[in-house]
């Protein structure tokens, strides 16, 4: 049977795709069905046909899957953020565990026996809502020309007005409403991507879940905001829900997990100038309008009462899910097996979070990171936590590591890597192998590039000791993985 665009077909959904979409067959023809849940029987409208497979969208759920739940957010089908919100959380975890395993088999070329012997159960979240500490909201106009803040619709740059995302802190809504009302009152325009005109592009909000400190940064297509003091007045006038609101429950939850939240309050307001016609959100230059340049937060790890305090600037990377991050870092420390004497390299170190936890248990730590502001933060963080055995280098891991090896003859006992989605550069992997560390700890936010890189490391004389997925991004298709490798003697 030949299908074409706009045909409506009945499909039994038997699998979940890479982006969380349902996969099923219509008379042998494979369809990737957006918004379908594994176990559903759906009527789906075909949106795109290729020779051997096609794409479709759910028109009607005929028989719902036992794993189907009612999504909390009414925008979840339009929004690009939560691809699997209609899938029961426990089943999401199974999906992510499988996704990591499948990638290791298919791309890594490992055997099922090898992987099953080392893979531990995924670490899930106790409360998979309101877990994100950072969001960047695009500002724009709806069809009637009203000023809105929200999210990009899936695969587009159309903005859906929604200031109440279920993944972020509930205070974000009030902050965004305050920004919008300041803009309306002062006739401040929003940026229009099509023409490159208009001023306000995005609002970045980042919250320290432990300290309660909030940073608000407006990304603008110009040098200044009109009536800046009005914005400051609006934002600093906000008072967030007190002791008896919904927030309190969340706080209790957090205490249970050793992350408690201080009183939420805005401590930093800034603008970032971005006049480029680009998809990159933040500009390079940041100017503080009010309060501090950075916010503070702190992290601890399970089984230890020690906490490390971090200072975080708007341009620095900081893990978005602090509660799960603590569990992830706990595993990183376990996998590193430090006794106090080791030399450790922490590549892609951001503001030095992993580096500083390692430094407390190692001889010496070298952190490498490409963003200069993040390295400034890392050095400041070492100082404020009185950690003297960590040094930080600005640059690409694939350039700095070979220099440390060739010029300084550095031979680390342990190398930790935590690269962005594209994984490690080959030059970086080759240098790691040449340095012959006893152990490598690989933290990854993309199982496909992880599998590719593990293959190279294993061909270079390493074996996988442990693999564990950690759910940092509930309701989205993303999964974090941590792997322990050791050198074969
Ligand atoms: N380990 C840190 C940060 C991980 S995110 C943490 O847990 O918080 C990945 C980091 O890699 C980001 O800070 C990013 O700026 C940095 N980065 C990206 N490409 C890089 C490269 N080629 N060399 C070094 N750092 C890089």
Specify the residue with its C-alpha closest to ligand 1, atom 3.
Answer: 350
Instruction: For domain 321-487, give the CATH number.
Output: 3.40.50.150
Average pLDDT over residues 253-270: 69
Between CA 443 and CA 418 the distance in angstroms is 5
Which entry of 349, 424, 445, 458 is annotated as an active-site residue? 445
Average pLDDT over residues 422-442: 98
Same CATH fold assignment for domains 8-68 and 134-299: yes
Between CA 113 and CA 150 the distance in angstroms is 46
In terms of CATH, what superfamily is 8-68? Nucleic acid-binding proteins (2.40.50.140)
pLDDT > 90? residue 189 = yes
User: Ligand 1, from 369, 427, 481: best to mutate by most atoms within 8 Å of Cβ?
Assistant: 369
Q: How confident is the model at residue 393 (pLDDT cuts 50, 70, 90)?
A: very high
pLDDT tens column, 77-106:
888 789 999 999 999 999 999 999 999 999
Specify the residue with its C-alpha closest to ligand 1, atom 13.
Answer: 350
- Angle value at C-alpha 329, between 135 and 90, nearest 5 degrees: 70
pLDDT of residue 255: 46
Percent of the chain, pLDDT > 90? 91
pLDDT of residue 261: 55
- Angle value at C-alpha 12, between 11 and 18, nearest 5 degrees: 90
Residues with C-beta less than 6 Å from any ligand 1 atom: 317-319, 348-350, 353-354, 368-371, 374, 396-398, 418, 420
State if pTM tops 0.75. yes
State in Å: Cα 422 to ligand 1 middle. 11
pLDDT of residue 2: 84
Topology of domain 134-299, CATH: OB fold (Dihydrolipoamide Acetyltransferase, E2P) (2.40.50)
- How far is CA 447 from its chain centroid? 14
349: annotated active-site residue: no
pLDDT > 70? residue 251 = no
pLDDT > 90? residue 247 = no
Average pLDDT over residues 282-289: 95
Specify the residue with its C-alpha closest to ligand 1, atom 22.
Answer: 396
State in Å: Cα 368 to ligand 1 middle. 8
* Residues 437, 366 contacting (CB under 8 angstroms): no
Report the relative pairing of strands 41-49 and 134-141 from DSSP bridges: unpaired
154 CB-near residues (< 8 Å, 6+ apart): 34, 78, 79, 80
pLDDT of residue 259: 42
Between CA 11 and CA 22 the distance in angstroms is 10
pLDDT, greater one: 434 or 154? 434
- Angle value at C-alpha 65, between 62 and 69, nearest 5 degrees: 105
User: In this structure, which long-range contacts are made by residues 217-220, counting pairs with CB atoms below 8 Å and at least 24 apart in sequence?
Assistant: 217/268, 217/269, 217/270, 217/271, 217/272, 217/282, 217/286, 217/314, 218/179, 218/270, 218/271, 218/272, 219/136, 219/271, 219/272, 219/274, 219/281, 219/282, 219/283, 220/191, 220/271, 220/272, 220/273, 220/274
- Angle value at C-alpha 197, between 194 and 198, nearest 5 degrees: 120
For the chain, give the mean pLDDT: 94
* Residues 381, 296 contacting (CB under 8 angstroms): no
Which residue ranges make up each domain of the chain? Answer: 8-68, 134-299, 321-487
106 CB-near residues (< 8 Å, 6+ apart): 451
């Amino acid at each position: 049977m030949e299908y074409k665009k706009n045909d409506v077909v009945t499909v039994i959904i038997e699998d979940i795709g890479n982006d969380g979409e349902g996969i099923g067959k219509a008379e042998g023809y494979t369809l990737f069905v957006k918004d379908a849940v594994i176990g559903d029987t759906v009527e789906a409208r075909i949106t795109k046909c290729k020779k051997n497979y096609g794409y479709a969208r759910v028109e009607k759920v005929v028989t719902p899957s036992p794993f189907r739940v009612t999504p909390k957010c009414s925008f979840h089908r339009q929004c690009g953020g939560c691809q699997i919100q209609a899938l029961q959380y426990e089943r999401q975890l199974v999906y992510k565990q499988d996704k990591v395993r499948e990638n290791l088999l298919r791309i890594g070329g490992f055997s099922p026996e090898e992987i099953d012997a080392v893979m531990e159960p995924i670490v899930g979240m106790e409360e998979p809502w309101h877990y994100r500490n950072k969001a960047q909201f695009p500002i724009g106009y709806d069809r009637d020309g009203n000023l809105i803040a929200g999210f990009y619709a899936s695969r587009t740059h159309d903005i859906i007005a929604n200031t109440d995302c279920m993944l972020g802190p509930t205070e974000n809504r009030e902050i965004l409403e305050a920004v919008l009302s300041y803009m309306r009152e002062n006739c401040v325009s929003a940026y229009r991507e099509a023409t490159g005109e208009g001023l306000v592009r995005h609002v970045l909000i980042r919250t320290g879940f432990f300290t309660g400190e909030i940073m608000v940064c407006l990304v603008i297509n110009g040098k200044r905001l009109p009536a800046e003091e009005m914005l400051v007045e609006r934002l600093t006038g906000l008072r967030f829900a007190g002791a008896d609101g919904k927030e309190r429950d969340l706080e209790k939850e957090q205490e249970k997990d050793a992350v408690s939240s201080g009183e939420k309050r805005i401590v930093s307001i800034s603008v970032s100038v971005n006049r480029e016609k680009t998809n990159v959100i933040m500009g390079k230059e940041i100017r503080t309008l009010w309060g501090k340049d950075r916010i503070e937060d702190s992290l601890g790890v399970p089984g230890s009462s020690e906490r490390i305090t971090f200072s975080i600037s708007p341009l620095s990377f900081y893990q978005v899910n602090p509660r799960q991050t603590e569990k992830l870092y706990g595993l990183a420390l376990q996998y590193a097996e430090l006794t106090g004497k080791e030399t450790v390299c922490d590549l892609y170190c951001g503001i030095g979070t992993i580096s500083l936890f390692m430094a407390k248990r190692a001889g010496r730590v070298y952190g490498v990171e490409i963003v200069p502001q993040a390295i400034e933060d890392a050095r400041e963080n070492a100082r404020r936590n009185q950690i003297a055995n960590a040094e930080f280098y600005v640059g690409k891991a694939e350039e700095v590591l070979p220099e440390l090896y060739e010029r300084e003859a550095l031979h680390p006992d342990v190398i930790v890597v935590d690269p962005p989605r594209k994984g490690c550069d080959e030059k970086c992997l080759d240098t790691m192998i040449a340095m012959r560390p006893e152990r490598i700890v690989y933290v990854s936010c993309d199982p496909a590039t992880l599998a590719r890189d593990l293959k190279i490391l294993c061909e270079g004389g390493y074996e996988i000791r442990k693999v564990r997925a950690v759910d940092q991004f509930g309701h989205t298709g993303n999964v974090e993985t941590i792997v322990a490798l050791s050198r074969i003697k």
